[in-house]
Structure 1
Amino acid sequence: MNQQLKIKAVWMRGGTSKGLFFHEHELATESAEREAILLAAIGSPDPYGRQLNGVGGATSSTSKVVIIAPAQDTDFDVNYTFGHVAIQQPMIDWTGNCGNLTAAVAHFAIEEKLIKNPVEIGIQLVRIWQTNLNQAIHAHVPVQDGLPVYKGNDKLDGVSGTACAFRIDFLNPSTGATLPTGNATDMIKLDEGSRIEASLINAGNPMIFVRARDFGLTGAELPVQLNHPELLQKIERIRQIGAWVMGLVEQPEQAALRPATPKVALISNAQPYSSLDGQQLQEKDMDLCARIFSMGIPHGAFTGTGAVAVGIAALIKDSIVAQHCSASGDMVRLGHPSGLLLTGGRLDDTGKQAVAASLMRTARRLMDGYVYVTL
C-alpha cells in the first residue's frame, strides 16, 4: 500500500536537550524494525548532516529518542529507555542515559497518567527506572491540578525563556564502581606514544576528564573554537582508549560502535569568558570551567549526566576535576559554553563510590500527535 507508517509521539524538551518520546506499546516489538522506525523518524542517516527528512535537529542535543513503559516494579512509575541517534550513520547508541531528557521523562509520566500515586497539588514524586544503566532516579516535580507547573522564573543557561525548575536525584548513579580502575587518575597512552592524564569516572554516564591545558587550550573556548578535525580526532582516540581502560569494550576500536559513551570533557580552573549568548562570566561566578564533547562534536552547553559526573568527581580526592575545582562544599558551580549550572553529589565512607547526585532542570512538552515514517 502507498502510505506512510503513522505512530503516536511527543516532542519534548528536557534541560538543554530535545527528544522524540514514544510509548513502548506504540512501537514494533522486533528490535531491527523498531530501530529502523526510530532512525527514519529522526531523519538519520543523513549524509548532509541536516536531518531534513525527519524531526531531528541535526545536533547531538536534538537527535534523541525516548521509549517509556509503565513500570511493573511497584517501586517505580515508569521504565525509561534512551537512544542517542547518530546523525550521519544508521546507528542508535543505547549504552547511556540523557540526564537532561530525564527531566522530560518526569513531565511525560505525569501528563500521560503513568504515576502510581498521583497528587493534584504540591510536589509529585516521579520514580524512574533507567533501563540502559539499571539506575533509579527520583524527580520532584511541582504540580497543580495534577499537571506539572509550567510557568516559573527559573532560567536554565542554554535555554531561552524561563520555567519552573525541579530537582532530579540520581540514586547510586554508578553502574558498578565509580572509579573503574580504582584510581583517581590514570595515564592514557596514545598511538604515537604520548600520554594524557585522565580521570575515568562512572557516574551518571561513563566520563573521561582531561585537562584543557594538556591540549594547549585555556578551557574557556566556545564550541566553534574546539571544532577542529585534529583536536576532534585526538579526543575521539582518547575516548576509545579510555573506554577500553574502563572495561566498557574489549578493544578500543569497538568504542566507535557506542559513540555516546563514554564522553570526554576538558577541565580548567574558573576563569572569565563570554558565553554563547554574550553573558560576561567572571571567575567568581563559578568553581571550575568545563567543555564536553558529545557524539564527536563540542557541546553547546553541558550534558546532564556529564554534570552528574562532575559533581561526583569534584568530591574524589586527587581527581582532575577536584584539582581544578574551588568549591568548598558538596555543590559545584560549573561554567560551560552557555553559562552556568549547579551540580552536586555524595560519596560513601570510602570516598570513592558515589551514592547520590542531584541536578536542577526544567522541561516542557512542545508538540504531540503523530510522526510519519517511510520504510
Structure 2
Amino acid sequence: MNPQHSLPAAYYRGGTSRAIFFDQKDLPRDREQWNAIFLGSIGSPDPYGRQLDGLGGGISSLSKICVVGESTRPDADVDYTFVSIGVKDSAVDYSSNCGNMSSAVGPFAVDSQLFPVSFQNSGIVTVRIHNTNTGKIIKSTFPVVDGEAAASGEFAIDGVAGTAALVQLEFINPAGSRTGKLFPTGKTIDIFDGIEATCVDAANPCTFVRSVDLGVAGDISPDEISAHPNLLQRLDSIRRQAGVRMGLAQSREMVPPSVPKICLVSSPISNTRALQTQAADNPDILVRAVSVGQPHKAVPITAALALASAAKTETSTVASVMNKEQASNAGITLGHASGNLLVDADFGDGDGLLKSATVFRTARRLFEGRVFWKNIET
C-alpha cells in the first residue's frame, strides 16, 4: 500500500460550473506529471459516471481544473490555463477555455495574493487574465472587501440559487482564439450532413445549427436531448466535420471533445412553451448547448460569446432565427435550459473587426486547503 499524495488547492464556483484551482508554482515543473494529479483529484476515469472518489460531479460542468500563476505577458496580471477532464474516461483536454470558470480566476488571484490587494482595501478591481489555451486577454472586474474577493452581492444568474457579487468579463479581441479567424471556414454557412451550420471562433470555436433543421423543438430540455434516439449522434457528426473544416484537426476522429462546441438555436417566437415559461423576460434567441458530449444545463459562456458575435452577422444561422425586433442596444438575451443570459459583442467602428465580447457572471470560493489523490501508478 502507498500513501496518498496532496497539494495545496482551492475549490471555486464560477458561473454555472465548479473547478479545482491550483497555483502553478505548487504543481510539478514537468507538465507530464499534471495529468495524473488532475485525474486523481477529480476522480476520473469513473465507469459509474459519478466521480465519487474525487471532487468531480459526474457532468462536464463539474469536471474541471484551473491553473493560475504569474503572468508571462506584460499586458496581463496572471496566466490561466483551463483543463477539461473526462468523466468516464481519462481525457485531459487543454484545447479550450471555459468562460464560466474564467469568472473565478480573478477572485482566486486576489484571494491567493497572486494579484496583491491590501487587507485594508475595499472597492472595485480589474485583473487582466492571459488565457494560455487561447492566447487571449480577459479583463475581470469585481468588488473586493477587506482584501478578499467579495462573495455577497445583489446580482443573480439563472442556474445558480441566490445572489452574489457581480463579475464582469470582457474578452478582448476574442476572434480567432484557435484558428485566427472569426469565421474559420471562410463562410458564414457550411453544410454538414445536409444541415446548414455557422462555424464561429470567438472565445472558443463553436458551431451553430437551427433546431428546426434537425426536427426538434428549440426549447427542448437537456433530458429530452439525452433521451432522443439519435440527436446527440447527429450533432456530434456535424461537430466533428465542422472541427475538421475549421482546421482544429486533420480527421473527424482527432477532433477534441471540447471544441468545437455545438449548439441548437431557434426563434423564441416559434416556441410557445418558452414564451409561457419565460414570459416575464423573453429572450432574443433560444440556445441549447452540447459540451463534451453532454447536454449543457445552461450554456457555456464561450459559446454564448461566439453566438453573440454570429448574431450580428446577417447571413449566419444565428441571425436567421433571432428576434431582431426585441433585441436592444444593451446586448442579446439568450434563453438557455436554466433561464436567460445577457451577452454582447462589440464590432467597434464599422471596420468589421470584433473588438470585445462581454458577459456578467458571479463566482465564489467554496474551500481551500489540500486536495488528495491516490498513487494511480500502482
Specify the alignment match of 1:266 in structure 2. Answer: 264
Partner in structure 2 of residue 196 of structure 1: 195
Where in structure 2 are the equivalents of 1:201-220 lying within 5 Å? 201-220=200-219
Q: How does 1:336-355 map to 2 (within 5 A)?
A: 336-348=336-348, 352-355=352-355
In the other structure, the counterpart of 2:163 is: 162
Q: Deviations over 1:153-212 (max 9, x none)?
A: 211100111111121100011221101122211112x3xxxx110000000110000000
Structure 1 distance, partners of 2:9, 2:204, is 26
How far 1:345 moved relative to its partner? 0.6
Instruction: Please tell me whether the aligned partners of residues 178 and 352 of structure 1 are also in contact (alpha carbons under 8 angstroms).
Output: no
Query: Helix, strand or coil: the match of 1:323?
Result: helix
Q: Distance in 1 between matches of 2:2 and 2:251?
A: 45
SS in 2 for 1:61: helix
Single out whichever of 7-16 and 264-273 deviates more from structure 2. Answer: 264-273
1:316, 1:351 within 8 Å by CA — same for their partners in 2? no
Residues 229 and 42 (structure 1), Cα distance of their counterparts in 2 relative to 1, 3 Å cut: farther
Contact 2:171 2:358 in 1 (8 A): yes
1:185 partnered with 2:193: no
Give the CA deviation at 1:13: 0.2
Go from structure 1 to structure 2 and tell me whether the alpha carbon gap of 1:117 and 1:153 turns closer, same or farther (over 3 Å shift).
Answer: closer
CA 1:17 to 1:273, structure 2 compared with 1: closer, same or farther past 3 Å?
farther
Corresponding pairs, count: 365
Letter of the aligned partner of 1:182 in structure 2?
G
Partner AA of 2:314 in structure 1: K
Query: Where does the alignment leave 5 or more consecutive residues of structure 1 unmatched?
Result: none
Quick check: 1:150–1:364 contact (8 Å CA) kept in 2?
yes
For 2:134, what is the secondary structure of its paired residue?
Answer: coil
- Work out whether residues 117 and 147 of structure 2, in 8 Å CA contact, stay in contact via their aligned partners in 1: no
Aligned residue type for 2:123: G
- Secondary structure (helix, strand or coil) at the match of 1:261 reads coil
SS in 2 for 1:244: helix
Structure-2 residue corresponding to 1:309: 306
Alpha carbons 2:95, 2:133 under 8 Å: kept: yes
Counterpart residue identity of residue 197, structure 2: A
Instruction: Output the amino acid matched with 1:259.
Output: P
Q: Indicate conservation of the 8 Å contact 1:177/1:353, yes or no.
A: no
Q: 2-side partners of 1:120 and 1:229: how far apart?
A: 55
What residue is the counterpart of 1:38 in the other structure? Answer: 38
Distance in 2 (alpha carbons) for counterparts of 1:161 and 1:283: 19
Displacement of 1:280 in angstroms is 2.1
Contact 2:167 2:363 (C-alpha < 8 Å) held by counterparts: no
Moved more, 344-353 or 284-293: 344-353
Q: What's the CA shift string for 1:70-97, capped at 9, x where partnerless?
A: 1143321110000010111111111100
**What secondary structure, in the 3-state scheme, does the structure 1 residue paired with 2:230 have?**
helix
- Whether 1:81 and 2:81 are equivalent positions in the alignment is yes
Could you tell me which residue of structure 1 aligns to residue 289 of structure 2? Answer: 292
Q: Distance in 2 between matches of 1:168 and 1:295?
A: 23
CA RMSD of aligned residues (A): 1.9
Report the residue type matching 1:151 in the other structure: S
Contact 1:210/1:267 (CA < 8 Å) preserved in 2? yes
Q: Which residue of 2 aligns with 1:335?
A: 335
Shift in Å at residue 352 of structure 1?
4.8
Q: TM-score, normalised by structure 2?
A: 0.92
Partners of 1:349 and 1:57 in 2: CA distance: 44
Stretch of structure 1 that moved more, 285-294 or 109-118: 109-118
Shift of 1:65: 0.3
Query: Is the contact between residue 69 and residue 80 of structure 1 (CA under 8 Å) also seen in structure 2?
Result: yes
Report SS of the residue matched to 1:37. helix
Task: Give the % identical residues.
Answer: 38
Secondary structure of the 2:299 match is coil
Deviation for aligned residue 1:334: 0.4
Distance 1:116 1:18 in 2: 24
* Matching residue of 2:172: 171
Tell me, yes or no, if the aligned pair for 1:125 and 1:140 is still in contact at 8 Å.
Answer: yes
TM-score by length of 1: 0.93
1:330: Cα distance to partner?
Answer: 6.1
Kindly provide the CA deviation profile for residues 87-144 of structure 1, in whole angstroms up to 9, marking residues without a partner as x.
Answer: 1111111110000001110110111111267692221010100000000000111122
For residues 307-339 of structure 1, what are the alpha-carbon distances to aligned partners after superposition, in whole Å with 9 as ceiling and x for unaligned?
A: 111111111121111111122436100000100
Alpha-carbon contact 1:179-1:352 (below 8 Å) kept? no
Q: Determine helix, strand or coil for the equivalent of 2:241.
A: helix
The separation in 2 between residues aligned to 1:7 and 1:132, in whole angstroms, is 23
Distance 2:365 2:273 in 1: 30
SS at match of 1:32: helix
Equivalent residue letter for 2:285: L
Mean CA deviation greater in 282-291 or 314-323: 282-291
Give the aligned partner of residue 6 of structure 1: 6
Q: Deviations over 1:333-357 (max 9, x none)?
A: 0000100000001125666542200
| 4+ residue runs over 4 A deviation | 116-119, 271-275, 348-352
The 2-side partners of 1:2 and 1:155 are apart by 45
Of the structure 1 ranges 199-208 and 158-167, higher mean CA displacement relative to structure 2 is found in: 158-167
Contact persistence 2:197–2:208 (CA under 8 A): yes
Deviates more, 1:143-152 or 1:73-82: 143-152
